[in-house]
Amino acid sequence: MLDISEPGDKIGEKLLAFLDARQRQELIKYLQSENMPNGQSATVLRLPAEAYGGQRKAGEPFAEIQEGELYFCLEQRLVRVGGREMELTAKEFDILALLIRNPKRVFTYELIMELVWNEDSSFVSRKTVSNHISNLRKKLKTAPNAPDYIKSIARVGYKFEAP
């Protein structure tokens, strides 16, 4: 039952329950294609909606993001920390792409599963997402005093936040 006195995120979760995995992915892609909220980092380039899964057209600039020591290029599937290239698995790169392109936006475990694995969350466990995030954090943290770019939101999910 939908109670309009509930917080917006709770209403949103209930409404998302009515959509299948493909419909949820299309909704997220649509929302990501809109203008980013105020406070967006100036170092992030606006990406077209098809950029996450599509190819760059000739003559268009690369979708590049530079946050401190972290450099990310979507089209080249390239990540560098402190000038050193990181070897990420395909899923690690896709998770980072999702988070870094939407700084400060919290992604639930279920949403990460649907957007990265392109499957209903019942086929991928939270532990799988946690393990990939853990491996990704280890690769991005090149020194003990290096910043943590991926923040955990207890029992909810993760977000990208530049230090």
Q: How far separated are the first and last CA of the chain, in Å rounded? A: 40
Confidence at residue 46, expressed as pLDDT on a 0 to 100 scale: 35
Rounded Cα gap, residues 103 and 1, in angstroms: 32
**Residues above pLDDT 70, as percent of the chain:** 63
Helix (H, G, I), strand (E, B) or coil at 79: strand
In tens, the pLDDT along 70-113 reads 999 998 999 999 999 999 999 999 999 999 999 999 999 989 99
Sign of torsion over alpha carbons 109, 110, 111, 112 = positive
In tens, the pLDDT along 15-34 reads 666 666 666 666 666 665 55
- For the whole model, what pTM was predicted? 0.64
Q: What residue type is assigned to position 82 of the chain?
A: G
Residue 150 in this model has a pLDDT that exceeds 60: yes
Rounded Cα gap, residues 109 and 158, in angstroms: 8
Rounded Cα gap, residues 27 and 110, in angstroms: 14
In tens, the pLDDT along 30-51 reads 665 554 454 443 333 333 333 3
Residue 12 in this model has a pLDDT that exceeds 90: no
**Residues above pLDDT 90, as percent of the chain:** 42
Nearby residues of 65 by Cβ (< 8 Å), 6 or more positions away:
43, 44, 45, 71, 72, 73, 100, 101
